[in-house]
Structure 1
Amino acid sequence: MALVDYSSDSSVVTADSEIAPPPAKKQRSGGGPDGKGGEASHPTASDLPPLPESFHDLYASSVRQSVSDDPSLHNGRKRLTPHVAGNWPSHVYIEWHPTTEQHALLVDFLDAAQKQLGTTHRLHSFLTSDLNAPLPLHISLSKSLSLTTANKDAFLDALTSSLRPTSAAVKGPFTVSPSGLAFYKSPDSDRAFLVKVVE
Structure 2
Amino acid sequence: MSAAPLVGYSSSGSEDETEASAAGRSKPGSGGRRCGQSSLPTQRFPVPDSVVSMFSNTEEGPEDDSEKHGGRIRTFPHERGNWATHIYIPYEAKEEFLDLLDTLLPRAQTFVPRLVRMEEFHLSLSQSVVLRHHWILPFVQTLKDHMASFQRFFFTAGQVKIYTNQEKTRTFIGLEVSSGHAQFLALVSEVDRVMEEFGLTTFYQDPSFHVSLAWCVGDARLQLEGQCLQELQEIVDEFEDSEVLLRVLAEQVRCKSGNKFFSMPLK
SS of the residue 2:97 aligns to: helix
5+ residue gaps, structure 1, are 1-63, 127-134
5+ residue gaps, structure 2, are 1-56, 182-267
Contact 1:79 1:188 (8 Å CA) reproduced = no
What is the rounded CA distance, in whole Å, between the counterparts of 1:101 and 1:83 in structure 2? 38
Write the mapping of 1:78-117 to structure 2, written as runs, cut at 5 A: 78-115=73-110, 117=111
What is the rounded CA distance, in whole Å, between the counterparts of 1:78 and 1:111 in structure 2? 25
Q: Give the drift of 1:156.
A: 1.1
| 2:116 counterpart of 1:137 | no
What is the rounded CA distance, in whole Å, between the counterparts of 1:175 and 1:95 in structure 2? 13
- AA aligned opposite 2:107: A
Contact 2:87 2:125 (8 Å CA) reproduced = yes
2:62 alignment partner in structure 1: 68
What is the rounded CA distance, in whole Å, between the counterparts of 1:113 and 1:94 in structure 2? 26
SS of the residue 1:175 aligns to: strand
* TM-score normalised over the length of structure 2: 0.39
What is the rounded CA distance, in whole Å, between the counterparts of 2:132 and 2:83 in structure 1? 6
Go from structure 1 to structure 2 and tell me whether the alpha carbon gap of 1:75 and 1:111 turns closer, same or farther (over 3 Å shift): closer
- AA aligned opposite 1:113: A
What is the rounded CA distance, in whole Å, between the counterparts of 2:84 and 2:108 in structure 1? 31
Write the mapping of 1:2-151 to structure 2, written as runs, cut at 5 A: 66=59, 67-71=61-65, 72-115=67-110, 117=111, 120-126=112-118, 136-151=120-135
Q: Give the drift of 1:79.
A: 2.5
Aligned alpha-carbon RMSD (Å): 2.7
What is the rounded CA distance, in whole Å, between the counterparts of 2:123 and 2:84 in structure 1? 17
| 2:174 counterpart of 1:180 | no
Aligned length: 120
SS of the residue 1:81 aligns to: coil
Go from structure 1 to structure 2 and tell me whether the alpha carbon gap of 1:92 and 1:174 turns closer, same or farther (over 3 Å shift): same
- AA aligned opposite 2:163: Y
Q: Give the drift of 1:188.
A: 5.3
What is the rounded CA distance, in whole Å, between the counterparts of 2:163 and 2:58 in structure 1? 31
User: Which structure has greater strand proportion?
Assistant: 2
What is the rounded CA distance, in whole Å, between the counterparts of 1:194 and 1:104 in structure 2? 16
What is the rounded CA distance, in whole Å, between the counterparts of 1:181 and 1:155 in structure 2? 34
Identity %: 28
Determine which structure has greater relative contact order: mean sequence separation of CA pairs < 8 Å that are 6+ residues apart, divided by chain length: 2
Q: Give the drift of 1:77.
A: 3.5
- AA aligned opposite 1:70: D
Go from structure 1 to structure 2 and tell me whether the alpha carbon gap of 1:106 and 1:153 turns closer, same or farther (over 3 Å shift): same
Contact 2:88 2:122 (8 Å CA) reproduced = yes
SS of the residue 1:90 aligns to: strand
Q: Give the drift of 1:124.
A: 0.4
| 2:188 counterpart of 1:193 | no
- AA aligned opposite 2:117: S
Cα deviation, 1:53-100, whole Å, max 9, x if unaligned, reads xxxxxxxxxxx9753332244344432322222211111111111222
* TM-score normalised over the length of structure 1: 0.50
1:33 alignment partner in structure 2: none
User: Which structure has greater helix proportion?
Assistant: 2
